[in-house]
Homo-oligomer: A and B are copies of this chain.
Amino acid sequence: MTDQWLTSLITETPQDGFALAVTLSRRGVKTTQPDVDVLKKLRPVYAEDADSLTAASQVIAINFQTVAAANNYWR
Query: A residues engaging B (CB < 8 A)?
Result: 1, 4-10, 13-15, 18-19, 22, 24-29, 31-33, 38, 42-43, 45-66, 68-70, 73-75
Instruction: Specify the main secondary structure of chain A where it touches its partner.
Output: helix
User: Cβ of B52 and Cβ of A42 under 8 Å apart?
Assistant: no
B59 touches A57 (CB 8 A): yes
Tell me whether A33 and B47 are in contact (CB under 8 A).
yes
In the complex, the answer to whether A53 meets B75 with C-beta atoms within 8 Å is no
Q: For residue A73, which residues in chain B have a CB less than 8 angstroms away from its CB? A: 9, 66, 69-70
Instruction: Determine if B57 and A29 form an interchain contact, defined as CB atoms under 8 angstroms apart.
Output: yes
Interchain nearest-CB distance for A8 vs B (Å) = 6
